């Protein structure tokens, strides 16, 4: 569930260089941990750092294309929609990301 737009605000959370290509970092926020992940093309994605299966830290997962593979049991989660891919099912909350220069901005609750 997303918080109403009015209560959200763009925050500068990290530099692009903080996130290794095909890797991830954990971002600690007031609403919990968020996984920042980068794919081969340098696109950045933000999802809750919690696999819907058994809570695995997605920031430590393996990124391929538009998928992150959870490090615990290999569940595959779509980076942009947060949808768990077949044969498993589930949903991970995603967060809007904006790149400005070399900074990463996230729309987070106020």
Partner 1 sequence: MNNTVSVKPRLVVIGNGMAGMRTIEELLKMAPDHYDITVFGDEPHPNYNRILLSPVLAGEMTFEDTILNGRAWYEQHGISLHTTAPVTTIDRVRRQVIAANGTVAPYDRLLLAMGSHPFVPDIEGARLPGVMSYRTIEDVNIMRALPAGARAVIIGGGLLGLEAAYGLLSQGVQVTVVHRHPWLLERQMDRVGGDLLARSLIERGLCFCLSSETEAILGGERVEAIRLKDGRLLEADLVVFAVGIRPRTALAREAGLHCDRGIIVDDTLQTYDPRIYAAGECVQHRGATYGLVAPLFEQAKVAANHLACYGRLRYTGSITSTKLKVTGIDLFSAGDFAGGTGCEEVSLLDPAAGVYKKAVIRDHKLAGMLLYGDTSLGPWLFQLLRNGNDITDLRDHLLFGEPAGDARHGGERAIAQMPDTAEVCGCNGVSKGTIVHAIRAQGLFTVDDVRRCTKASGSCGSCSGLVEQILSSVLGGLYETPPQKRALCTCTDLTHDEVRDAIVTRKLLSAREVFRVLEWKAQGGCPTCRPAVNYYVRAAWPIEASDDPQARFVNERVHANIQKDGTYSVIPRMYGGVTTPAELKRIAEVAERYDVPMVKLTGGQRIDLLGVNKSDLPAIWADLGMPSGHAYGKALRTCKSCVGTEFCRFGTQDSTHLAITLEKRLERMWSPHKVKLAASGCPRNCAESTIKDFGVIGVDSGWEIYVGGNGGMKLRGGDLLAKVKTEDEVVEIAEAFMQLYRKEAYYLERTAPWIERVGLDHVKDRIIAKPETRKQLAEELRTAISQERDPWAAALAGTITIHAEPLRATEALP
Instruction: Give the interface with partner 1 as residue ranges (CB under 8 A).
Output: 9-14, 18, 20-23, 25-29, 33, 36, 39-40, 54-57, 60-65, 69, 71-74, 86-88, 105-106, 108, 110
* Closest approach of partner 1 to the CB of residue 10, in Å: 5
* Closest approach of partner 1 to the CB of residue 107, in Å: 10
With respect to partner 1, which residue has the nearer C-beta, 40 or 96? 40
Report the distance separating Cα 82 and Cα 68, nearest Å.
10
Report the distance separating Cα 10 and Cα 77, nearest Å.
24
With respect to partner 1, which residue has the nearer C-beta, 13 or 92? 13
With respect to partner 1, which residue has the nearer C-beta, 2 or 42? 42
With respect to partner 1, which residue has the nearer C-beta, 14 or 81? 14
Write a three-state SS string for the chain: CCCCHHHEEEEEEEEHHHCCCCCEEEEEECCEEEEEEECCCCCEEEEECCCCCCCCCHHHCEEECCEEECCCCCCEEECCCCEECCCCCCECCEECEEEECCEEEEEEEC
* Closest approach of partner 1 to the CB of residue 1, in Å: 20
């Amino acid at each position: 569930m997303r918080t109403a737009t009015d209560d959200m605000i763009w925050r500068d959370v990290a530099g692009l260089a903080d996130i290794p290509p095909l890797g991830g970092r954990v971002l600690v926020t007031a609403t919990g941990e968020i996984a920042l992940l980068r794919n081969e093309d340098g696109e950045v994605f933000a999802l809750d750092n919690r696999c819907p299966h058994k809570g695995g830290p997605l920031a430590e997962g393996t990124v391929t294309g538009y998928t992150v593979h959870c490090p615990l049991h290999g569940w595959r989660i779509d980076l942009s929609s947060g949808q768990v891919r077949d044969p498993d099912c589930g949903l991970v909350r995603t967060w809007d990301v904006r790149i400005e220069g070399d900074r990463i901005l996230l729309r987070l609750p106020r």
